[in-house]
Amino acid sequence: MRRVSIVLGVVLALTVATFVSLAEEDGQFVVPGEVAAAAAARLADAHIGDLFAAMKVLASTADLQVGVWGGMRDLLAQFEQQPVSFNAWFLLPDGSYYKVEEGLTDQNLSDRAYFPKVMAGEATLGDLVVSKSTGRKSMAMTVPIERSGAVIGALGVTVYLDDLSRLIAEELALPEGFVLFAYAEDGEMALHSNPNLLLEEVAESGVDLAAAATATSSLLGWTFVVGIAGD
């Protein structure tokens, strides 16, 4: 959380200069609008980066490397108590998985794009999905769990995009009439002030991109946009 606090401190220091000046000028944002978009990208990177780093630490602990759900459930329940809203799960090599609240679910994740990667020992970050267990629009992250050089499963996290959108928007405290959203390389919106637009194409954002301020996340690769809401 220290990195998030540092970023927030920078954002607060820039708040007056940024948002007093955050206005249109001949149809274009003045430079401080770019600062707001960059701050949003850094906040998202800080939250997700810290969570991803914590996952890697957990996956290396004896509690998880044993590969027994009963020995890791309480640890994962504590792990879920963070500002970012997410569910943690233990993924098995056959695609079945355990969640803190449910135990073994009746769903299977072997058809997800990240599944063969993580089972081959590769950590994954940024997959946009609709959760099979909750139906919520989400981002999935996975870290392999290895024992004696072999992958025995994976630690997974499902970050809820509506809650993450609200968290970033609240931390930025944008003035009324402004919209914050972020889209992935394929044009799918990963974050948006209006949760109904999550996972829609960027063309549905309700913002004129030509007149908006943008910045790119160094961790997620998403493009963050701050713009004026359309009519």
The DSSP result for 64-132, as a single string, is HHT--HHHHHHHHHHHT-SSS-EEEEEE-TTS-EEETTTEE-S---TTSTHHHHHHTT--EEEEEEE-T
Q: Which of 161, 176, 193 is the last residue in one of the domains?
A: 161
DSSP class of residue 229? P
Same domain membership, residue 136 and residue 77: yes
> Domain containing 110: what range?
71-161
108 vs 13, which has greater pLDDT?
A: 108
Residues 75 and 157 grouped into a single domain: yes
150 and 194 both lie in a single domain? no
CATH of the domain at 216: 3.30.450
Structural domain includes residue 63: no
Whether residue 60 is contained in a domain is answered as no
Q: How many domains does the chain have?
A: 2
pLDDT band with cut points at 50, 70 and 90 for residue 211: confident
Q: How confident is the model at residue 228 (pLDDT cuts 50, 70, 90)?
A: confident
* Total-model pTM: 0.84
Same domain, 172 and 215: yes
Are 80 and 32 part of one and the same domain? no
Does 7 score more than 60 pLDDT? no
